[in-house]
Amino acid sequence: MICSAGARFLLLLVSGVALALSACSPQQPAGTARFLAFGTLIDLTVIGVEDRAFDRISAAIQNDFAYMHKAWHAWDPGPLGRVNQLLPSGKPFAVPPSVLPLIETGKQLAEDSGHLFNPAIGRLIALWGFHSEEMDPGSLPSAEEVERLVRANPRMSDLIIEGIMLRCTNPAVQLDFGGLGKGYGIDLAIQHLRELGVENAIVNAGGDLRAIGSRDGHPWRIAIRSPTGSGVIGTLETRRDESVFTSGNYERYFTRGGKTYHHIIDPRTGYPARGVRSVTVVHREATVADAAATALFVAGPEHWHRIAQQLGIGFVLLVDEQGILHMNPAMAQRLQLLDPADHEIRLSPPLTAARTVSEPPRQAPLPTSGPAQEP
């Protein structure tokens, strides 16, 4: 299943790049590189640097991703694995520096999303069999097991950080940063690219990406993944510095007895979240966009607007189980659907709490959020 998802990613990446290139006739040199991290293909595109400089830059970024992949892997042994081993004891221990920022950011985003985004439910995700490349638990988890883990109520707020020491007040907490790590990694990669003097680039992890600057003065045009997982539903142009993230039920799943079970778990029920096919979020920081796409998927067609408001998100597209497109007006204004007549569209009230550039950063060392505003 990982292979077929990879193939879909490839298709999408090809179309994404083609769209970006067709927006203009390139004047500046463009470097592209592709490598594997976080179980997906990472595509790096940098504009305006010569070949030899690009080779150095791309080696540095590839190195970053290899490090992050190892540090944050949810089931391979490594720093996060060690943290997960130590958490249930309840005793304080020194957190590896590679994991601490993810815990701090994860705590904040869990809080802002009303704990619909909840990286503390690692035990539930493992129970459903998503802590393996095969993504097949053999048999479905029993209702009692699921209920026991839901009742134990693992939350990021059970983690107490004092300096570099961490302790956990709930033995049910196991960390899984599958809904956040890719975004955080992309933010760090963009920060590193800027330190290396790059002003125009895209870091694209299987269709989830952050784009900075432009392509010879033209905005990057980004393909939005179709909720079927293959193909494109529409496109949008990024504004100076933005991330576009999609969470979908087609990403990782298995079928049992004719029913499909996907990898985004509703922490309130312990079962795969229902009612949504995909959610696309546009936000400046990839970290926030990644967590928000997962949180809004769990929130569903009824509640996504409130949670987006709480998270300070300015642009959302949610495709529900019936194929209806839910959007806020600012998203509708900038999204170019490939076949507008094919879709029923439901516009929400404007999102008014979107963070703006003038606000202080939510958390060092990430850049400030914004500039998302309803017209």
User: Whose Cβ is closer to ligand ADP: residue 267's or residue 301's?
Assistant: 267
Query: How far is residue 335's CA from residue 145's CA, in Å, rounded to a whole number?
Result: 42
User: Whose Cβ is closer to ligand ADP: residue 265's or residue 351's?
Assistant: 265
User: Whose Cβ is closer to ligand ADP: residue 291's or residue 330's?
Assistant: 291
Query: How far is residue 213's CA from residue 11's CA, in Å, rounded to a whole number?
Result: 24
198 binds, among Mg ion, ligand ADP, none (CB under 5 to 8 A by kind): none
Q: Which residues contact 348 (CB under 8 A, 6 or more apart)?
A: 305, 316, 326, 327, 328, 329
Q: Write out the two tokens for 318.
A: 């949610």
User: Whose Cβ is closer to ligand ADP: residue 58's or residue 247's?
Assistant: 247
Whose CB is nearest to ligand ADP? 178
Among 249, 287, 294, 328, binds Mg ion (CB under 5 A): 294
Count the site residues for Mg ion by CB under 5 A. Answer: 4
Query: How far is residue 301's CA from residue 370's CA, in Å, rounded to a whole number?
Result: 24
Binding mask 146-185 vs Mg ion (x if CB under 5 A, - otherwise)?
A: ---------------------------------x------
Q: Provide the pairing of β-strand 208-212 with 221-225.
A: unpaired
CB of 153 to ligand ADP, least distance (A): 13
Part in contact with Mg ion (CB under 5 A); list of ranges 46-54, 223-231, 286-294, 311-319: 286-294
125 binds, among Mg ion, ligand ADP, none (CB under 5 to 8 A by kind): ligand ADP
The DSSP call for residue 66 is H
Task: By CB under 5 A, tell whether 204 contacts Mg ion.
Answer: no
Whose CB is nearest to Mg ion? 294
Return the bridge partners of 242, or none.
211
Part in contact with Mg ion (CB under 5 A); list of ranges 77-85, 126-134, 285-293, 367-375: 285-293
Which stretches of the chain bind ligand ADP, using CB under 6 A? 117-119, 125, 130, 176, 178-179, 182, 208, 247, 251-252, 263-265, 267, 290, 293-294, 298
- Torsion angles phi and psi, residue 89, rounded to 5: -65, -25
User: Whose Cβ is closer to ligand ADP: residue 252's or residue 305's?
Assistant: 252
CB of 207 to ligand ADP, least distance (A): 8
For the chain, report the end-to-end CA distance as a whole number of angstroms: 41
Q: Write out the two tokens for 366.
A: 């990430």
User: Whose Cβ is closer to ligand ADP: residue 158's or residue 208's?
Assistant: 208
CB of 51 to ligand ADP, least distance (A): 32
DSSP SS3 for 323: coil
Walk across the sheet containing 93-94 and list its strands.
Answer: 93-94, 165-168, 159-162
Query: How far is residue 292's CA from residue 283's CA, in Å, rounded to a whole number?
Result: 9
155 binds, among ligand ADP, Mg ion, none (CB under 5 to 8 A by kind): none
The answer to whether 82 touches 174, Cβ cutoff 8 Å, is no
The answer to whether 156 touches 111, Cβ cutoff 8 Å, is yes
Query: How far is residue 115's CA from residue 42's CA, in Å, rounded to a whole number?
Result: 29
204 binds, among Mg ion, ligand ADP, none (CB under 5 to 8 A by kind): none
DSSP assignment of 18-65: HHHHHTS---S-EEEEEEEETTEEEEEEEES--HHHHHHHHHHHHHHH
User: Whose Cβ is closer to ligand ADP: residue 16's or residue 219's?
Assistant: 16
CB of 240 to ligand ADP, least distance (A): 24
User: Whose Cβ is closer to ligand ADP: residue 99's or residue 298's?
Assistant: 298
Q: Which residues bind Mg ion (CB under 5 A)?
A: 179, 290, 293-294
